[in-house]
Structure formats: structure tokens, C-alpha cells
């Protein structure tokens, strides 16, 4: 893909709001498609005769390996070319593969569909961030990314809450087919709303990927954030994969009850944290603070302690919280 011509100025007013709304929809739909197999796991396991190990591989390893390997190439492609074109292509791929997951006949076909979802979603966040950087002013970038990221807790809430209820009413296959159809709308909306994005600057491109990577890794704060992100991802993936299954098996909840309990709490509190985090980062950046990540570090420490406690409390109400 060739780079698009430079745009003279960032979008403002209703055009900026339209772009941000479309990007939020992308984030929301991508998270729904990512979360659905977790609440559908018990139904899928029962119909296809899969083991817990196979469910873990499909919802975890199959997705994570492909996502990890392709995120950087997709980000590079968005930087050097057209981020809206990358996002459009990626949204269509992950939506089609989500729908194809509803036609799976066994472990191999289900795993292949999740590889495809990961392939598409690997480019969603980097290309969305590239559009935010090029088309929205830097003074509102933290808030813009916060609103975009709000799709993650909302998508988690919708994926778990609606996914569980719809699965019991219509079956897991129809849920995946419907989610795939919904996702096919998001990418074209962003493509239309973004207009022509400005081309990436050439200064960083001239340095090359290896040199830019070495420069980032030389920054102690970046290394710490990278390690923290890896640790959080390592811990959260199995938690999401088996949280609903745990509530269903250990506390005798239905899929609908488990989805509502987990989804509403994760989504509601996640929205608050995401919006406040975005605004807090903007304020700390303007003030020149040296401890931008102190509050998130404390929040993650608290989350780790409460998550561990939820696995051992015998009371159903406490475990759901």
C-alpha cells in the first residue's frame, strides 16, 4: 500500500467526533469477537467434544501466537502506508473468520478460525492509533485513546452478557455468525470517516525498524512498561478464557448468569477506569509529572489480589465480584 498524501490539518468538530465514534465501534466489535469464545466455551466444548486443553489452545495459544507475531508487521504497514486501508482490510478478515467459527466442525477448524480472527485483529489497534495520531490533535490524544480503549471493557461486557444469553436462546453457532456480520460494518465506517490521512513522517522511517527498536529498549521506562504489559497479558488470557467456565462449574451459574455477572462488572468498572485513565494521563502530561504510571501500577496490584481471592471464596456473590 502506498502512503497517502499529507493532510493539512487535524480533523475538528463533528468530523473528529465521527472518526472517534467509528474507531470506538471498531474497538468494541473487535473485543466482542475476541471475548465470545470464552462465554461460549462450555457450549462449544459440549457439542464438538473438546477437552479443556483444546479449549485453552483455541481461545489462548491459537489467538495469542498469531496476534503476537503479526502485530508489529501490521503496525509497520500502518505507519508506512494507509492506516485506514489496513484497518478496513483487517476488520473484514477478522469478521469473516469470526463468522466461519460458527461453522466449525472440530478442533482444527475452530482453531483455524481463531488464527484468522487474530490475523485481522493484529492490525486493528496499531492502525487505529495511527489514525488517532494523524487525524486528531495532540492536545486531546490521551482522551481520544481513552475513548477508543473504552471499547475494550464495553466489548467485554457485551461479549459476555449478550453472548451468554444469546447462546442459550439461539445456540453458539448463530452467535458467532451474527458477530461476524456486525464486525463487517465497523471497518468501512472508519474508512469513510477518516478521509485521507496524512503520510507518516520520514525521520523515524529513515532510522529503520531495528534502530527504532533499540532506541525504545534503551529507555528504562519503556522496558518496564513492556515487561508489565507482557505479565498482564500472560495473567489475563487464562483468566478470561476460564472465568465463565469457573463460575458455571464451581458456582452452578448458567451461561446467562455467568455472562451477566462477569460482563457487567468488568465492563462497568472498566469504562470508569479507562476514561479516568485517559484524562489523568493528559493532565499528568501537561503538568510534567514524573510518575505517570504510579496510579496504574497500584490499580493492577489491587486487581491481582482481588482476582486471586475470587478464586477461593466459597460465596457465589463474592466470587462474581
The domain segmentation of the chain, as residue ranges, is 13-197+211-320
| Length of the chain, in residues | 321
Average pLDDT on 36-61 reads 87
The residue assigned the cell 476514561 is: 275
Q: Which of 8, 10, 281, 279 is nearest to 136 (CA)?
A: 10
Q: Residue 9, SS3?
A: coil
List, as one string, the DSSP characters of 156-218. HHHHHHHHHHHHHHH-HHHHHHHHHHHHHHHHHHHHHHH-SPPPPPSHHHHH-HHHHHHHHHT
Give the model's pLDDT for residue 288. Answer: 60
Terminal-to-terminal C-alpha distance of the chain: 47
Non-local CB neighbours of 89 within 8 Å, separated by 6+ positions: 123, 187
Task: Please give the helix or strand (H or E) that residue 31 lies within, else none.
Answer: helix 13-39
Compute the distance between CA of residue 154 and CA of residue 169 in angstroms, rounded to an integer.
22
What's the whole-number average pLDDT of the chain?
80
Summarised one tens digit per residue, pLDDT across range 109-121 is: 999 999 889 888 8
CATH fold for the domain made of 13-197+211-320: Growth Hormone; Chain: A; (1.20.1250)
pLDDT the model gives residue 305 = 85
Residue 40 and residue 159: Cα distance in Å, rounded?
10
Which tops the pLDDT comparison, 68 or 188?
188
37 close to 59: Cβ distance less than 8 angstroms = yes
Predicted pLDDT of residue 199: 52
Q: What is the mean predicted confidence (pLDDT) over 140-154?
A: 81
Query: pTM of this prediction?
Result: 0.73
Residue predicted with more confidence, 208 or 61: 61
pLDDT > 50? residue 162: yes
Amino acid at each position: 500500500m502506498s502512503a497517502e498524501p499529507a493532510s493539512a490539518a487535524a480533523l475538528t468538530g463533528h468530523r473528529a467526533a465521527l472518526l472517534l465514534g467509528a474507531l470506538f465501534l471498531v474497538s468494541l466489535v473487535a473485543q466482542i469477537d475476541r471475548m465470545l469464545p470464552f462465554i461460549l466455551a462450555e457450549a462449544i466444548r459440549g457439542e464438538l467434544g473438546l477437552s479443556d486443553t483444546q479449549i485453552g489452545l483455541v481461545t489462548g495459544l491459537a489467538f495469542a501466537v498469531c496476534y503476537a507475531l503479526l502485530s508489529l508487521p501490521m503496525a509497520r504497514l500502518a505507519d508506512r502506508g494507509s492506516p485506514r486501508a489496513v484497518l478496513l482490510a483487517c476488520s473484514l478478515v477478522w469478521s469473516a473468520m469470526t463468522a466461519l467459527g460458527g461453522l466449525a466442525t472440530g478442533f482444527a477448524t475452530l482453531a483455524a478460525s481463531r488464527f484468522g480472527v487474530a490475523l485481522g485483529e493484529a492490525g486493528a489497534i496499531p492502525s487505529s492509533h495511527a489514525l488517532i495520531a494523524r487525524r486528531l490533535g495532540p492536545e486531546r490524544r490521551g482522551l481520544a485513546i481513552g475513548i477508543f480503549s473504552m471499547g475494550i471493557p464495553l466489548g467485554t461486557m457485551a461479549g459476555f452478557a449478550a453472548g451468554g444469553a444469546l447462546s442459550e436462546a439461539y445456540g453458539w453457532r448463530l452467535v458467532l455468525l451474527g458477530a461476524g456480520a456486525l464486525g463487517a460494518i465497523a471497518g468501512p465506517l472508519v474508512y469513510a470517516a477518516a478521509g485521507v490521512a496524512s503520510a507518516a513522517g520520514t525521520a523515524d522511517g529513515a532510522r529503520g525498524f531495528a534502530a527504532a527498536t533499540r532506541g525504545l529498549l534503551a529507555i528504562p521506562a519503556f522496558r518496564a512498561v513492556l515487561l508489565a504489559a507482557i505479565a498482564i497479558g500472560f495473567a489475563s488470557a487464562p483468566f478470561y478464557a476460564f472465568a465463565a467456565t469457573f463460575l458455571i462449574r464451581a458456582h452452578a451459574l448458567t451461561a446467562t448468569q455467568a455472562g451477566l455477572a462477569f460482563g457487567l462488572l468488568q465492563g462497568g468498572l472498566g469504562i470508569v477506569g479507562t476514561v479516568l485513565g485517559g484524562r489523568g494521563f493528559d493532565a499528568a502530561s501537561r503538568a510534567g509529572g514524573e510518575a505517570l504510571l504510579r496510579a496504574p501500577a497500584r490499580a493492577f496490584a489491587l486487581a491481582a489480589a482481588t482476582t486471586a481471592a475470587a478464586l477461593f471464596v466459597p460465596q457465589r456473590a463474592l466470587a462474581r465480584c
